[in-house]
A = this chain, B = another copy of it.
Amino acid sequence: MRAPLACVGDLVADVLTPALVIDLDAMERNLARMAEFARAKGMRLRPHAKMHKSGVIAKLQVAAGAVGVCVQKLSEAEALAEAGVADIYISNEVIDVRKLARLAELAKRIHLAVAVDSVLGVDRLAEVLKTAGSTLDVFVEIDVGQGRCGVAPAAAGALAHRVVSHGATDATGQPTGMRFAGLQAYHGRAQHLRDPAEREAAIHHAVTLARAAQSSITSAGIHCPLVTGAGTGTFVHEAASGVYGELQAGSYLFMDADYAQNRPAPHAPVFEHALFVKSQVMSRGVAHAVVDAGHKSHAIDSGLPRVWRSGPSAASSGFADIEFGNGGDEHGILTPRSDAVPALGDTVWLVPGHCDPTVNLHDHYVVVRGGLNAGVVEAVWPVDARGCLD
């Protein structure tokens, strides 16, 4: 792990670059808004910690009312458990037997859940749980439009039956081994449709498929306790569906440049940009400037970062009229439109295109209180699950 680029108490102006910076005031407002939304709608909130990869932040979410967090990889769950997170759902499949054995061990230490979408996966999981003598929740994943993992809705009953068939009860009558917990039904593609009506239509379709999967499970004589899914782009629709009981949105906490391009749905909570890459001009031409932040400091899978002009208030802050060009791993090329070319040594704030993989490129968050201009570093948090691939 690299040395942090700032110390607690530093002025934001003194944070070395390129650094991953949280505007803590903005993050706290986002945290409260989503918690309040879930509470008002009577929904369980299980934010996706694949976004922030931080034990500190996961615990803040739980303190604000979340039931736990999601992750995508076993090693992320291990890292967050190590950081003190007690309730984690791996909303993804694990098929390797050695990883499954680790999963069964982890299930002894925390409340753990995992998704399945194959008979092989279910049978292997049953075997390791039996060997370890541990228990976890299992969600059957269905494909609701993502075209990636998950079984067809009509096949959900058979797979749920397979899960239940491996179940057992202990001496006190409590279920052990695999507990069938419901359906994983996430529509990733729908999150980034720009038109709110298109997002609503996509989730309407997902809800129809989730309902069909519920019927398939009920027809197999099995109770389906929960449907879980949703993301920052669509959660208002899943919450209104009457089918979903748990929301997995993650990006709401930081917001990224990609999500900022979604036109909001009516009455949806509004979230602020709270995650930035602080960069510095390290070379300057006549009509362009070069900052020390390339795509090794920010992910570009969902577009390039946008340049942020941080004013003394939210109203005076916003995107600058400067184009950010990809200058390779270590450079960003700024071409101002109406604005002046920044000077050598100037600070330039960037809003990343996509939070999750941007966070993965950094070892620490530099956490700033009091805004990006005159703020002070209140904390430095490790990105606990950075680089957790397996």
Contacts and interface: CB of A to CB of B under 8 A. Distances in A.
Contacts of A2: 75, 387-389
Contact of A148 (B147, B283, B356, B357): B283
A215 interface: no
Contact of A387 (B92, B282, B361): B361
Given A149-B290, A356-B329, A94 B282 contact: yes
Nearest to A288: B147
Given A120-B344, A327-B148, A296 B357 contact: yes
A328 B50 CA distance: 12
Contacts of A292: 390
B290 A295 contact: no
A99 to B, nearest CB: 7
Contact of A50 (B147, B285, B329, B388): B329
Interface in A73-109: 73, 75, 92-96, 98-99
B149 A96 contact: no
B282 A17 contact: no
A357 B150 CA distance: 30
A193 to B, nearest CB: 16
A61 interface: no
Contact of A360 (B147, B296, B390): B296
Chain A: number of interface residues, binned into ranges: 35 or more
B148 A331 contact: yes
A336 to B, nearest CB: 15
A273 to B, nearest CB: 20
A180 to B, nearest CB: 19
A328 B386 CA distance: 16
Contacts of A93: 282-283
Contacts of A96: 16-17, 280, 282, 345
A330 interface: yes
A296 to B, nearest CB: 6
A322 to B, nearest CB: 16
Given A1-B387, A18-B390, A147-B333, 5 more contacts: A95-B281, A95-B283, A120-B344, A147-B288, A361-B389
28 contacts: A1-B387, A5-B390, A16-B96, A16-B98, A17-B96, A19-B389, A72-B329, A72-B330, A95-B280, A95-B345, A96-B282, A118-B344, A120-B345, A143-B285, A147-B288, A149-B282, A149-B290, A149-B331, A188-B328, A295-B299, A295-B301, A295-B357, A296-B357, A296-B389, A301-B329, A329-B357, A360-B361, A363-B387
